[in-house]
Amino acid sequence: MSALSYCHSKCITHRDIKLENVLLDENKDVKLIDFGFSTCIPNDKKIKIFCGTPSYMAPEIVKKTEYAGPPADIWASAVLLYALLNGCFPYRGATDAELYRKICRGTYAMPN
Choose the catalytic residue: 16, 25, 34, 44.
16
| Closest C-alpha to 5, from 81, 74, 78 | 74
Q: Is 96 assigned a catalytic role?
A: no
Q: How is residue 45 annotated by DSSP?
A: S
- Identity of the residue numbered 16: D
- Report the C-alpha gap between 11 and 63 in whole angstroms: 23
- Distances in Å between the Cα of 19 and the Cα atoms of 48, 55, 82, 110 are 24, 11, 11, 19
What is the sign, positive or negative, of the torsion defined by CA atoms of 87, 91, 94, 100? negative
What residues act catalytically? 16
